[in-house]
Amino acid sequence: MPKGLIHSKNDNVCILTNDVKKGEEVICAYLENPSEYVIIKSSEDIPLGHKIALSDIKSGEKVIKYGRPIGIATKDIFAGNHVHVHNIKSMRWSKK
Amino acid sequence: MSTIKGYVRENGSVGIRNHVLILPLDDLSNSASIGVSKLVRGTTVIPHPYGRLQFGRDLDLFFHILSGIGSNPNVDSVIVIGIEENWANKVADEIVKTGKHVEVFPIEGNGDLKTIEKASRKALGMVQDASEKHRTEVDISSIVMSIKCGESDTTSGLASNPAVGVVVDRMIDHGATVMFGETSELTGAEDIVADKMANDKLKEKFMNIFKEYDSIIEREGVDLLGSQPTQGNIKGGLSTIEEKALGNIQKLGHRKVNCVLDYLDPLEKAKDGGTLCFVNTSSAAAEAVTLFAAKGSVVHLFTTGQGNIVGNPIIPVIKITANPKTSSQMTEHIDVDVSDLLDLKISLEEAGERIYQYMLRVMSGRLTKAEVLQHDEFSPIKLYISA
- Mean pLDDT over each residue of chain B, to the nearest integer: 97
Does residue B1 form part of some domain? Answer: no
The pLDDT assigned to A95 comes to 60
Q: What is the mean pLDDT of residues B224-240?
A: 91
- For B237, the closest chain A residue by CA position comes to A50
Show the domain range for B123.
Answer: 19-132
Any CB–CB contact under 8 A between A73 and chain B?
Answer: no
Contact state of A34 with B217 under an 8 Å Cβ cutoff: no
Same structural domain, B201 and B311: yes
Does residue B182 form part of some domain? Answer: yes
Rounded to two decimals, what is the model's pTM?
0.97
In this complex, the residue of B224, B239, B344 whose CB is nearest that of residue A93 is: B224
Any CB–CB contact under 8 A between A75 and chain B?
Answer: no
State the best of B233, B242, B323 to mutate against chain A, taking most chain A CBs within 10 Å: B242
Same structural domain, B256 and B283: yes
Look at chain B and report how many structural domains it folds into.
Answer: 2
Nearest to B351 by CA among B178, B169, B164: B164
* Whether the predicted pLDDT of A1 surpasses 90: no
The alpha carbon of residue B289 is apart from the nearest alpha carbon of chain A, in Å, by: 26
The pLDDT assigned to B362 comes to 98
Contact state of B343 with A31 under an 8 Å Cβ cutoff: no
Same structural domain, B338 and B198: yes
Does residue B6 form part of some domain? Answer: no
Any CB–CB contact under 8 A between A5 and chain B?
Answer: yes
Last residue of a domain, one of B107, B132, B157: B132
Does residue B274 form part of some domain? Answer: yes
Does residue B4 form part of some domain? Answer: no
Q: Which ipTM was obtained for this model?
A: 0.97
Does residue B210 form part of some domain? Answer: yes
The alpha carbon of residue B305 is apart from the nearest alpha carbon of chain A, in Å, by: 9
Long-range CB contacts (within 8 A, 24+) of B221-230: B221/A95, B222/A93, B222/A95, B223/A93, B223/A94, B223/A95, B223/A96, B224/A93, B224/B184, B225/A85, B225/A89, B225/A90, B225/A93, B225/A94, B228/A93, B228/B184, B228/B185, B228/B187, B228/B283, B230/B151
* Whether the predicted pLDDT of A96 surpasses 90: no
Domains of chain A (ranges, CATH numbers): 4-90 (2.30.130.110)
Alpha-carbon Rg for chain A in angstroms: 13
The alpha carbon of residue A38 is apart from the nearest alpha carbon of chain B, in Å, by: 16
- For B325, the closest chain A residue by CA position comes to A48
Same structural domain, B250 and B352: yes
pLDDT digits (tens, 9 = 90+) for B92-145: 999 999 999 999 999 999 999 999 999 999 999 999 999 999 999 999 999 999
Q: What is the mean pLDDT of residues B259-272?
A: 96
Q: What is the mean pLDDT of residues A50-75?
A: 98
Contact state of B239 with A51 under an 8 Å Cβ cutoff: yes
Same structural domain, B285 and B242: yes
Confidence of residue B220 (pLDDT cuts 50, 70, 90): confident
Same structural domain, B76 and B153: no
Angle between helices B56-71 and B285-294 (to 10 degrees): 70
* Whether the predicted pLDDT of B190 surpasses 60: yes
Any CB–CB contact under 8 A between A91 and chain B?
Answer: yes
Same structural domain, B104 and B154: no
Last residue of a domain, one of B87, B113, B132: B132
Same structural domain, B194 and B63: no
Domain containing B126 — which CATH number? 3.40.1400.10
Same structural domain, B233 and B311: yes
CB hemisphere CA count around A94 (13 angstroms): 18
State the best of A63, A92, A96 to mutate against chain B, taking most chain B CBs within 10 Å: A92
Q: What is the mean pLDDT of residues A27-33?
A: 96
Same structural domain, B217 and B294: yes
Nearest to B240 by CA among A72, A8, A18: A72
For every residue of B295-313, DSSP letters joined together read TT--EEEEEESS------S
Last residue of a domain, one of B76, B109, B132: B132
Does residue B168 form part of some domain? Answer: yes
Contact state of A7 with B157 under an 8 Å Cβ cutoff: yes
Confidence of residue A94 (pLDDT cuts 50, 70, 90): low
